[in-house]
Amino acid sequence: MTDTGLSARRSAVHLLDQVLGENRLMAECLSAGALDHLPADDRARAQRLALETLRGLERADRLLQKHLRKPPALHIRNALRLGTVELCHGAAAHGVVNAMVQIVSAHKRHGPLKGLVNAVLRKIAADEPEQAWSHLRAPRLPKWLRAPLVQAWGSEAVSAMELAHLAGAPLDITGKPGADLGTLGGTKLPTGSVRLTNPGQVTALPGYDDGRWWVQDAAAALPGRILNPEPGMTVLDLCAAPGGKTLQLAAAGAIVTAVDSSEQRMKRLRENLARTGLTADLRVQDALQTEGTYDAILLDAPCSATGTIRRHPDLPHAKDGSEFGDLIALQAHMLAHAWTLLRPGGRMVFCTCSLLPDEGEVQIDEALGAHPDMTVDRDALARPGVDAAWITEEGGLRLRPDYWPDLGGMDGFYIACLRKDA
Ligand SMILES: C[S@@+](CC[C@H](N)C(=O)[O-])C[C@H]1O[C@@H](n2cnc3c(N)ncnc32)[C@H](O)[C@@H]1O
């Protein structure tokens, strides 16, 4: 790391300013080049610091509250939050305090508040920060999201999800069929993915360069396993990029057509195929304009992504749920259109990385009511490691971040396998 972490910390505060001040997702900030000026290790550190701060934001604010008569401007608050989180995670006090003071003093308008930053962070550092941190409750989701989740799953379950969100996510790997993943030194999960808790740089891991595996959360690997295409089947992967599921389908020997409307995300799918030596026909187009007839379809519809908060703690802060209604309507249109592309007797997997029943259970209930030739294929869910308790009333699979608490959790997902009458 260069300049004892100052550039990484400054960029992390800037990311926090964008997420919390401009309601931008971190992924948007990163693809707009927010960290492009940094060397690779500083980039990784800035991202990690911003994510840790967002995960622990409520705890940091509670500790800071004791030392602030009124909340200062957002940029100062974010520097204080980042400093507090670092101190509570055991970073050396002098490094953290000096860095935050330097960051604030370089700011034209807020520079005069460097004394406040210095004094508050010194007080936090003097007060057994690691212990104080661990005594606070897991940060709660904002009300706009917590309320519907409590209604759907109950408050005990939501508290367990919040604990999982605070813990963050390990790195899960899906291997090509028969690939030896033993050299990665991870844990084999019940569903077949390999989990690494301290992976370091992904591109340096054994087997990355020769394309033996790809990164994919264990829950996200299940839709492909449930569709389980036979070699030679024609499979349409709708909303495919960046392509974890496309790689699974292609590796199983299916003839895959992958559709996504985002050229930028499709570029990543192209790179993933090149690295793994797998093939698929890629089409940058609107899923609703897609034509043809396929033996099987995987529809991973755009959704609230509320199942991925362990890895994207910025989401509850950047969003307010106002666009979820449009997404829910789009999912229903996509499902209905995709159904017209499935050959009689074919199977379609519908999935979303969402915790909201409106983007899962309710969609399938409504689709079953609207399509007399549609049935749910419950047998398709009988895959290794799938717990019968995860199966829902209408025959889908509900996955939640608080499942597998001893193994490190999983992303929230909803998956259903639908069969068309022959
Ligand atoms: C949940 S992500 C897909 C993840 C992907 N299946 C994977 O496993 O890596 C949803 C995708 O839907 C795409 N998308 C959104 N609206 C679309 C549309 N109208 N037509 C096609 N793709 C769309 C987005 O670009 C995004 O890549």
- Contact by Cβ (8 Å): 95, 133: no
Residue with tokens 């100062």: 76
Question: What digits encode the pLDDT tens for the residues 197-217?
Answer: 988 889 999 999 999 999 999
- Strands of 203-341, DSSP E: 213-215, 234-238, 255-260, 281-284, 294-300
Question: What pLDDT score was predicted for residue 200?
Answer: 85
Say how many CA atoms lie within 13 Å of 258 toward its Cβ. Answer: 28
The CATH 3.40.50.150 domain(s) of the chain lie at 171-420
Q: Which fold does the domain 3-134 belong to in CATH?
A: N-utilizing Substance Protein B Homolog; Chain A (1.10.940)
pLDDT at residue 344 tops 70: yes
Closest CA to 175 of 225, 127, 111, 105: 225
Residue 384: exposure state from Cβ atoms within 10 A (0-12, 13-18, ≥19):
exposed
Atom of ligand 1 nearest to the CA of 300: 6
Question: What digits encode the pLDDT tens for the residues 272-299?
Answer: 999 999 999 999 999 999 999 999 999 9
| Cα distance between residue 50 and residue 45, in whole Å | 9
Looking at the chain, the number of H-run helices and the number of E-run strands are 16, 12
What confidence category does residue 38 fall into, taking pLDDT thresholds of 50, 70 and 90?
Answer: very high
In this prediction, residues 359-374 reach a mean pLDDT of: 98
Distance of CA 255 to the CA centre of its chain: 28
Question: What pLDDT score was predicted for residue 3?
Answer: 66
| Cα distance between residue 349 and residue 229, in whole Å | 11
The pLDDT mean for the chain works out to 96
| Cα distance between residue 372 and residue 378, in whole Å | 17
The CATH class for the domain spanning 171-420 reads alpha beta
Query: CA 309, 314, 318: angle at the middle one, nearest 5?
Result: 115
91 is in an annotated binding site: no
Helix orientation angle between 57-65 and 40-55, rounded to the nearest 10 degrees: 70
The CATH 1.10.940.10 domain(s) of the chain lie at 3-134
Question: 5 phi and psi, to 5 degrees?
Answer: 85, 5
The alpha carbon torsion through 372, 373, 378, 383 (nearest 10 deg) reads -150
What confidence category does residue 108 fall into, taking pLDDT thresholds of 50, 70 and 90?
Answer: confident
| Cα distance between residue 402 and residue 244, in whole Å | 23
In this prediction, residues 356-366 reach a mean pLDDT of: 98
Distance 116 CA to ligand 1 centre (A): 45
In this prediction, residues 355-369 reach a mean pLDDT of: 98
Please give the single-letter amino acid code of residue 215: V
Q: Is the CB of 224 under 6 A from ligand 1?
A: no
Tell me the ipTM for this assembly.
0.99
Q: Is the CB of 105 under 6 A from ligand 1?
A: no
Question: What pLDDT score was predicted for residue 1?
Answer: 43
Question: What pLDDT score was predicted for residue 185?
Answer: 92
Q: Is the CB of 247 under 6 A from ligand 1?
A: no
- Contact by Cβ (8 Å): 398, 360: yes
Q: Give the count of beta carbons closer than 10 Å to the beta carbon of residue 116.
A: 17
Structure tokens at 211: 């394309």
Distance 242 CA to ligand 1 centre (A): 8
Percent of the chain scoring above 70 in pLDDT: 99
Classified as helix, coil or strand, 257 is strand
Q: Is the CB of 267 under 6 A from ligand 1?
A: no
Radius of gyration for the alpha carbons in the chain, expressed in angstroms and rounded: 23
List alpha helices for 135-216, DSSP H.
143-153, 155-167
In this prediction, residues 97-110 reach a mean pLDDT of: 92
